[in-house]
Each structure stands twice: as C-alpha cells, then as structure tokens.
Structure 1
Amino acid sequence: MSQTVSRADFDQVMVPNYAPADYIPVKGSGSRVWDQTGREYVDFAGGIAVNALGHAHPALVKALTEQAQKVWHVSNSLTNEPALRLARKLVDATFADRVFFCNSGAEANEAAFKLARKWAIDQHGSEKYEIISTTNSFHGRTFFTVTVGGQPKYSDGFGPRPTGVKHIAYNDLAALKAAISDKTAAVVIEPVQGEGGVLPASVEYLKGVRELCDQHKALLVFDEVQTGVGRSGSLYAYMEYGVTPDILTSAKSLGGGFPIGAMLTTEAIAKHFGVGTHGSTYGGNPLACAVAEAVLDVVNTPETLAGIKAKHARFADHLNRIANATGAFAEVRGMGLLLGAVLADAYKGRAKDFMTAAAKEGLMVLQAGPDVVRFAPSLVIPDADIDEGMARFERAVRAVVAG
C-alpha cells in the first residue's frame, strides 16, 4: 500500500549528504514537470544533463516497457541482446572498437582510469602510472575519481588519497608541457568542464594535449559524461573539436534518465582488460541498454543534432538579452545545450540564489559552482518551452537584482 510522504521525510530518513529543494516532482511530460501540489515547472535542468529527451518520451517508454516484458537482468557470465545492439551502435558511430557498460559516469571513469594504468604498466613498466587531470574538473564520487577530479571540496576529509595524480590548470598547454613525462599513463580532460563552470576547452588546447600524449606515449581520456550523446551538438564533443581520444566515457544523457554508463576505447587498449580484470554486476543491464539504444536512435540523427545547435542560439540570445537588461551576468558560454551564465562581479557567489528564485517562478535550473547558473535542458525541448522558461528566468533574475 502506498504511503504519503513529504519533503520533511527527507530530513528524517535520508543520509544528509544532499539538500534538496522544498518541492517534490511527481510527474513529467516533455520539458514540463509537476510537483505534489500540482504546480508546473519548465525544466531547464534535465536532471543535471541526464534527461536527454525530456520526461516520458514515447520512444523511451516503449523501449522500457517492451524490454520489461522480456528479461530484466542477467549476470555478466551471460550477454544479452540490448547490450550487444547498443554496443554495436556506439562502435559504428564513434572512433571506438570496444565498449564496457556500467551504471554511472563515476563507474565509467573508474574503469577508464584503471584501464589506462593497466595499459601503461603492461606496455611500459611499473613506473608508468601517473594520471594528469585539471583543476576544477569533476569525474565522479568514488575515491579514485574524486582524487582525479580537481576539486578538493569533494576529496578532502577521507584520509590518504590514491597516489600518482597531478592537477594542472585547464586550457593551459604550457602547464601540461611542464607536468607530462614518461611516467604519465594518461591525461584526463573534460572537453567542456561542467561542474567546473561550463567552461569549453579551446581547439588549440585539445590538439596540443593530443600531440603531447602521443609524444610521451600516454593515453588521452575524454570525460564526456556531461557533454556526450548530443549535448554538444555533435554525438560526442570530440567530434566538434576534431580531436580523437584513446578512451571516452559516457553516461548521463546516454540513458535518458535510466542509469547507465559506458567506457569506449580501441581494440588495442581494450585487450588489457582481460577476463576477470574488471567488472560490474549491473553493467550492461538489458533494461538500461534497451532505453539507451532508443535514446541513441532519436539523438544521433541530422535533424536532432542540427536542432540542438539552433536551440543553443535561442538560449544564448535570451540569456545575453537578460544579461544586458539586468547586469547580472558577465558572460554566456558553453556548447550545444550545455550553457552557463557567469555571474557579474556584484553577484559572485550567489548562483544558488538565482536557482532558488527561478524555482519560485516555476523554472528548474542548475548551478555550476557558486558563480555560474547552468542550463542543461532536453535536447528536443520545444522553442515555446525555451521562450516560456526564459520569461520565468528573467523574472527570477530581476527579483534577485531588486532584492
């Protein structure tokens, strides 16, 4: 029998590592969400860049319900049809030859970092194990991935960290030249830093990183957990840059809201993960893979990808207009439907205030650190919802400015 619950129950029964908003969404359709009271919100948050096709997209509902009537789970001593179909489509659409499935972006990155070290040690000896990452990067919440991530607020307080990880400035090729050596196993880069402030890398930087990795026989790992599966306007952001990694991680939009992660790599690198070296009980789950296949079928089309770039322009136009009218934002940046409005100096540190004000106007947005308001809506959000959401956002911005 169902039990009535409210936001107050969170503080009674949940571990207090989150501070959720004071409303509970109970229903979604497209880019609109309704809470327990029936209040409607326009969704510009997308579950943090997860709900690639919005809420209750017919293709995803169909894929999930059809697979649910077949098989939900098998152990990894077996394979399954949805996993094989999804892997084939990912391989056919990208640089990769091989795919490893897991359940989240953190798990995909954990697998990538382990594989990079295994490859390096197998190929070049036990001294080649260092990983170079960038400050303000984010790669997940496992102990290894928070160590590789360049934000101490996520890794401090848990005792000694895994060794062999260096952090350098993002978008700074000179810093990498100074740090990389023959001990470097891999360089890990987000093509667009998401949690770090929606900050895109420059083309010259990523091309230079690729060249330095080649010179030092190190692998280039692209964390595309947030930028992947259409978010950038291409299926993966590396395609926008014309720079191909050795390993790529994907999650968030890949499942359209159903938990799934994937690590993509070449055959030569993949062979270093022999039988028993790594695994995941739920990785390659038939339900998750069936939904992800449906997501890929919708997103990886010329029409959808072109639409993402057009919608980026619409968002940016609105945000620049609001910035000019209110003085709240110093810059609008990002790629595709991952955008950040950087707060002007007078409002630094107040991104959460803008997020809270937006919720009061019936709009869901995100922050990327204390100084950036982040937008990661459905990749197929209707123009009318963009316009309505931006009207609500402008009212929220004006309320913060006036207050």
Structure 2
Amino acid sequence: MNLFNVYPLFNINPIKAQGSFLWDDRGEKYLDFYGGHAVISIGHNHPHYQTQLKNQLDKISFYSNSVQNELQTELADKLGKLSGLEDYNLFLCNSGAEANENALKLASFHNGKSKVLYFSGSFHGRTSAAVSVTDNPKIVAPVNYDKRFIKSEWNNIEQLEVVFKNQGSEISSVIIEGIQGVGGIMIPTVEFLTKIKELCEKHDTVFILDEVQSGYGRSGYFFAHQEFGIEADIITTAKGMGNGFPIGGVLIHPKFEASNGLLGTTFGGNHLACVAAIAVLDVMKDENLIENAQKMGEYIENELKDFSHIKSIRRKGLMIGIELDRDCSEVRNSLLYNHHIFTGNSNDKTVLRILPALNIQKEETDQFIDALKTVLEAI
C-alpha cells in the first residue's frame, strides 16, 4: 500500500527535535521557525512536557467519555484561569476543524437558524461545515457547497451591514479568525470586530472566534481578540494547545445550555491529550511565554523592518507575516536548503509566514534574522 499523495513534501526527514531545533536522518540540524503550522508552542520535547506524558503512560492512556476523567477538570480549570475566561465551559475534541464543526453545530442548536457568515481569505478546516466556511474553492467539494454559507469581505463593515440587513434573521453564526493565518496574517480591525459583535447581539446570532492558530499566547494575548476587549460567544482552539499532541477545544459562554448527547467525541479529552495540554499551560505560566511572545515578536519586527525586498510586516506577538515584493517561495527554499531554517507560506504567495515557539530566545531569532538578510541581499 502507498500513501495517498496529497502533500507536497520537502526532501527532509526529521527524526529528532529539541527546543527550537530539528535533526534529520542525515544528522543535519534545522532551526524551526514555523512549528508545524504554529503547533509547537513550548518548544520540541520540553522536559516538563516529556515527563508528564511519560508518567501518564504508566497510568492510563485512554478511556472513553463514558467515565469521569479528573484530568479534563484540571485542564478546564487551568485554561480558564490563564485565559481569563473562568466562567466559560469547555468541550474537548481532537483538532481545530472538529472544534469549528462543533461550534457551528452548537450555535445552530442554540438559535435554531441555519445560515453562517464567514469572510474572504478565511481558513477554518477541511471537514464538512468547516470547509464550507473556508475561502478556497479548490478544497470545497460539491458535497460541501451550500448557499447557507455566506461570504463577506474581510474588514468591510459596509458589506457586513448589508448582509445582516438582508439576511440577519436567518444567520445562525458568524465565524472569524482572531488573525487569519493561512490568509497571510491578516489582522481584523477593532471597528470590524466591534461591528460584528453589535450585529450578532441585535440579530440573535452567535459570534464564533476561531483562535485555532492565533490563540494560546501566539499573538501576545492568550486569544488574539482579547486585545480589543471583545467578548465572543464561542472560541475554538487547537494547534498550540497540545504542543504536537492532537487536541482541540471549544470554549462556550455560560448562556449556552448543555444536555446529554448534544455534542460528543470518542477520543476528545483522552488522558494523554489532557496531560499534554495541562503541561503546555503549566510551562506557559511558569516561563511567562505570552510576555515572551510580545517581546520577541517586537524584536524580530524591529530588526527586519528596513530589509530590502520587504514591503510590510504584519504581526501580533509571534504570529508574523513578512510581505515581500515577490513570490516568497525562492526565499523560503533558500532559508530551508541553504540556511536550514523552516518557515511557512500562505495563500498570499508573497507572504512568508513566521510562527516560532513561544519560548524562542534572542540567539535563535538572530540566526533567522541574519539568514533572511543574507537571502534578501542576494536577490
């Protein structure tokens, strides 16, 4: 049997990782400035993370959600305290797409409406409803397409108001990323988010903040939208939540009522996933990683802002989009193959996407900065 060939792969096979570095099967060392799409939040194989997972393996790895699991309660408690959302409730699942599916479903249960408003440039996942609110026709199959999913232009308040004027009574939820990642590190304005909130309240529409990539301290706030003082009805999270162990979560405002069977999952909130997520929160708190994301992100931007071929830098914390005056693929490949540094791209072909671990240090950022300067000067 062969693998189903859907991923374009770099000819690199990492077999070991530590901190912000990877080593391949030829012994070559790489600086990880992408973290596997912002998944690596506290660095590869952090000692506390490793120890907690190994200890849990000696106890119990999995049982279904038909029994009590005190690790889920501990995770919810610590997540509530660190995020400042102690009055919210938590539903655990396995991925960002699954978190968004459950958020959209819960919203529809709540108000009995079926339409969903999403925005240009969005990416919310590849599953049924999540891909239907993703702005990429190439990955939306005919079975996923439905007129109930309405697209409006990013940061366009006027168009947003027109959509609600015409269809507000039918819109179950609005889903928006705290910061668009795949879209090219696009940051919503406070006026745009405030208007969404206002219209949602007026029309009994659920306001969903997708913080799958922009959450968990990535932006320099626990969730990106918290910078603006906006209160979401539902928040989804995943990527950095488990530092590589699959886990997702739906944070649910207390106005939503739970009932047996309303939502469900087989693997969500299993013992190993919870231990991984608890370890991430412990490290984030003990090592002040949200503050480090603010500090190191600002340092990187200040060092890069006058480089040749950079048109703009879009950044919150350590969620950084470097807009070049050309397709970024040449720069990205040179960083990888000539300087052994992993970076990312986006749907905007000119944007180099930078998502290092939240505990990145100055020495490691300087390695990236020096390499990027060399690459850009050689163009």
TM-score of the two chains, using structure 1 as the length reference: 0.89
Say whether the 8 Å CA contact 1:143–1:161 is kept in structure 2: no
Partner of 2:96: 105
Q: Secondary structure at the match of 1:367?
A: coil
Partner of 2:118: 133
Say whether the 8 Å CA contact 2:129–2:144 is kept in structure 1: no
Distance 1:100 1:117 in 2: 16
Partner of 1:240: 227
Partner of 1:394: 373
Distance 1:69 1:321 in 2: 52
- Residue 351 (1) aligns with residue 328 (2): yes
Report Cα offsets for 1:205-259 as digits up to 9, x if no partner: 1111111111111111000000111001111112211101000000000101111
Q: 1:301 to 1:228 in 2, by over 3 A?
A: farther
Distance 1:163 1:90 in 2: 36
Partner of 1:315: 300
Partner of 1:342: 323
Deviation, 1:163, is 4.0
Distance 1:363 1:355 in 2: 9
Q: 1:396 to 1:26 in 2, by over 3 A?
A: farther
Report Cα offsets for 1:66-87 as digits up to 9, x if no partner: 1111110011111312211101
Distance 1:301 1:164 in 2: 45
Deviation, 1:301, is 5.6
Distance 2:45 2:84 in 1: 27
| Residue in structure 2 matching 1:185, options 172, 180, 197 | 172
Say whether the 8 Å CA contact 1:255–1:292 is kept in structure 2: yes
Unaligned runs of 5+ in 2: none
- Residue 170 (1) aligns with residue 154 (2): yes
Distance 1:196 1:111 in 2: 22
Partner of 1:223: 210
Deviation, 1:278, is 2.2
Partner of 1:383: 362
Deviation, 1:171, is 1.0
Deviation, 1:167, is 0.4
- Residue 58 (1) aligns with residue 43 (2): no
Say whether the 8 Å CA contact 1:137–1:195 is kept in structure 2: yes
| Residue in structure 1 matching 2:60, options 71, 80, 83 | 71
Partner of 2:200: 213
Deviation, 1:47, is 0.9
Deviation, 1:371, is 2.0
Give the partner amino acid of 1:165.
F
Q: Secondary structure at the match of 1:17?
A: coil
Say whether the 8 Å CA contact 2:178–2:223 is kept in structure 1: no
**Number of positions where the alignment pairs a residue of Structure 1 with one of Structure 2:** 372
Partner of 1:125: none
Partner of 1:282: 267
Q: Secondary structure at the match of 1:267?
A: coil
TM-score of the two chains, using structure 2 as the length reference: 0.94
Partner of 1:88: 77
Distance 1:174 1:148 in 2: 20
- Residue 374 (1) aligns with residue 361 (2): no
Q: Secondary structure at the match of 1:357?
A: helix
Give the partner amino acid of 1:135.
S
- Residue 332 (1) aligns with residue 310 (2): no
Say whether the 8 Å CA contact 2:157–2:192 is kept in structure 1: yes
Moved over 4 A (4+): none
Distance 1:269 1:224 in 2: 19
Q: 1:177 to 1:388 in 2, by over 3 A?
A: same
Deviation, 1:160, is 5.4
Q: Secondary structure at the match of 2:274?
A: helix
Partner of 2:20: 31
Distance 1:206 1:255 in 2: 28
Give the partner amino acid of 2:274.
C
Deviation, 1:13, is 2.3
Deviation, 1:387, is 0.2
Say whether the 8 Å CA contact 2:131–2:144 is kept in structure 1: no
Deviation, 1:192, is 0.7
Say whether the 8 Å CA contact 2:119–2:135 is kept in structure 1: yes
Q: Secondary structure at the match of 2:174?
A: strand
Q: Secondary structure at the match of 1:193?
A: coil
Deviation, 1:129, is 1.6
Distance 2:262 2:198 in 1: 30
Quick one: percent identity of the two aligned structures?
A: 33
Give the partner amino acid of 1:352.
S
Calculate the aligned-residue CA RMSD, in Å: 1.5
Partner of 1:4: none
Say whether the 8 Å CA contact 1:101–1:261 is kept in structure 2: yes
Distance 1:300 1:278 in 2: 30
Unaligned runs of 5+ in 1: 1-11, 122-127
Q: 1:200 to 1:72 in 2, by over 3 A?
A: same
